[in-house]
């Protein structure tokens, strides 16, 4: 008979956290310094700060509250998100400084380092969306560390061997995170998980908490997409494109959701998730969007694909492959990421007069996608195999999607 209580994490979580944190402090003490010249070159850090805060709000509050929709999993949704985010960010700062460490044995950090690190963290938080509720915090932290490492490796490969621009590499966060997470949840599938978990549902109040997360992601997405771009006409274009794409994908999500419902009702989950798909798709293709209607069309396509896939494909993935995707990451980040890639390809080829260059670009562009996909999926499989290990004491099926496995409810226990 299975044990009645959730496994005790005391001997796993506390040592892991202390080990990681001490390790980080040692590495920082040896190699990391504040960049003393960061403010010399035209005060960019000062302008950056308010945009950094937008991205910070997305990572900490946006993703944090997006994950609170599960009726008994709100503490974990927001609490573990904070924990994972701060660890992944500290780790990303180290990894992103690797090249400078090779050269000078020290890593200089400024606000831009923090922004880059938070973008990597966002990619890990996306992956975690697939397994939330079925894992414990120890597993989440391991996943985040491996995902971030893979994502940074992917960016390095693309930049070094394909001379892809850093902005485009960063925008692969959605595709990388989604397919990493997908393989992860596939490897970690549980027997009998084709039937829905008892506690995997939303109620009137948790739906609103989750809406709060959605709205903060939705509102500040323009900052996420434009933060790596310097002031100028391009930045303005990206801000406006992102707003328009998000607006259209919100409309598309509502339209498709009500259209595919026999009783003509909207699914709040669709609105919350698919309203963001326009931001994902435009993020991958935005450099080449020069007219508002192009952004809107990309947003429309993303919204439609995303909502349809959440309505039909998600269930199919579960039944056919046993691939249970808690937050619908495939629909929200995976497919819109691919769509954005396709839009990028089409827009780029459209700009080119010469057929040979176009074909060369297409081949090159397909290669970057294949590398991202294969690296993310193989890293996802490896990570899945590692964290599946029962040494990490994953929660039993009965304790999935339940805060009570991880959080003290002393007062409740005493009184009721």
Confirm or reject binding of residue 161 to a second copy (CB under 8 A).
no
Count of chain residues binding a second copy (CB under 8 A): 123
CA angle 336, 339, 344 (to 5 degrees): 130
CA dist 194 and 386 (Å) reads 23
Phi-psi region of 197 (alpha: psi -120 to 50; beta: other; left: phi over 0): beta
Within 269-298, the residues that bind a second copy by CB under 8 A are 271, 275, 290-293, 296-297
| Residue 150 CB neighbours (<10 A) | 24
**Residues 179, 180, 186, 218: which binds a second copy (CB under 8 A)?**
218
Q: Which of residues 119-148 bind a second copy (CB under 8 A)?
A: 137
116 φ/ψ angles, rounded to the nearest 5 degrees: -55, -45
Cα 132 to Cα 85, 172, 305: the distances in Å are 14, 22, 23
Q: Please, which residue, 46 or 160, has the CB nearer to a second copy?
A: 46
Distance CA 43, CA 22 (A): 33
The interface mask with a second copy, positions 337-376, x = CB under 8 A, is ----------------------------------------
Q: Which stretch binds a second copy (CB under 8 A): 4-12, 165-173, 186-194, 316-324?
A: 4-12
Q: Which of 23, 166, 205, 316 binds a second copy (CB under 8 A)?
A: 205
Instruction: Return the residue of 4, 191, 204, 355 that touches a second copy, per CB under 8 A.
Output: 204
The one among 103, 195, 264, 356 contacting a second copy by CB under 8 A:
264
Tokens of 14: 């506390």
For a second copy, the closer CB: 1 or 412 = 412
Distances (CA, A) of 22 to 14, 17, 190, 274, 320: 12, 8, 34, 40, 44
Work out whether 3 is an interface residue with a second copy (CB under 8 A): no
In degrees and rounded to multiples of 5, residue 222 shows phi and psi of: -60, -30
Bridge partners, 33 (sequence order): 108
- Segment near a second copy (CB under 8 A); pick from 27-35, 182-190, 359-367, 374-382: 27-35
Interface segment toward a second copy; rule CB under 8 A; list 46-54, 319-327, 341-349, 372-380: 46-54
């Amino acid at each position: 008979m299975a044990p009645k209580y959730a496994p005790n994490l005391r001997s796993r979580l506390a040592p892991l956290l202390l080990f990681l944190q001490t390790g980080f402090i040692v590495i920082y003490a040896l190699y990391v310094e504040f960049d003393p010249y960061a403010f010399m070159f035209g005060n960019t850090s000062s302008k950056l700060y308010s945009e950094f805060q937008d991205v910070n709000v997305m990572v900490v509050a946006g993703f944090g509250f997006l994950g609170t929709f599960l009726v008994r999993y709100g503490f974990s949704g927001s609490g573990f998100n904070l924990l994972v985010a701060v660890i992944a960010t500290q780790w990303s700062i180290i990894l992103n400084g690797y090249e400078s460490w090779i050269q000078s044995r020290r890593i200089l950090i400024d606000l831009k380092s923090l922004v880059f690190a938070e973008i990597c963290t966002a990619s890990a938080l996306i992956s975690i969306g697939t397994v939330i509720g079925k894992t414990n915090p120890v597993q989440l932290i391991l996943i985040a560390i491996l995902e971030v490492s893979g994502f940074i490796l992917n960016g390095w490969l693309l930049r070094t061997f394909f001379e892809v621009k850093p902005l485009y590499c960063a925008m692969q966060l959605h595709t990388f995170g989604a397919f990493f997470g997908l393989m992860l949840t596939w490897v970690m599938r549980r027997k009998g998980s084709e039937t829905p978990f008892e506690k995997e549902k939303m109620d009137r109040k948790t739906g609103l908490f989750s809406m709060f997360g959605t709205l903060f992601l939705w509102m500040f997405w323009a900052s996420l997409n434009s933060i790596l771009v310097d002031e100028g006409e391009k930045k303005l274009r990206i801000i406006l494109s992102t707003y328009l794409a998000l607006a259209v994908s919100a409309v598309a999500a509502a339209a498709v959701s009500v259209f595919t419902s026999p009783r003509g009702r909207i699914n709040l989950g669709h609105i919350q998730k698919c309203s963001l798909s326009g931001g994902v798709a435009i993020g991958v293709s935005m450099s080449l969007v020069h007219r508002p209607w192009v952004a809107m069309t990309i947003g429309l396509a993303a919204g439609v694909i995303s909502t349809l896939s959440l309505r039909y494909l998600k269930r199919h993935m579960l039944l056919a492959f046993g691939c249970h995707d808690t937050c619908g990451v495939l629909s929200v980040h995976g497919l819109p990421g691919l769509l954005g890639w396709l839009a990028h390809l089409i827009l780029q080829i459209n700009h080119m007069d010469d057929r040979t260059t176009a074909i060369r670009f297409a081949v090159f562009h397909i290669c970057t996608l294949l590398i991202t996909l294969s690296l993310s999926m193989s890293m996802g499989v490896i990570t899945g195999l590692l964290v599946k290990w029962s040494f990490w004491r994953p929660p039993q099926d009965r304790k999935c999607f339940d805060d009570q496995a991880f959080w003290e409810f002393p007062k409740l226990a005493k009184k009721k």
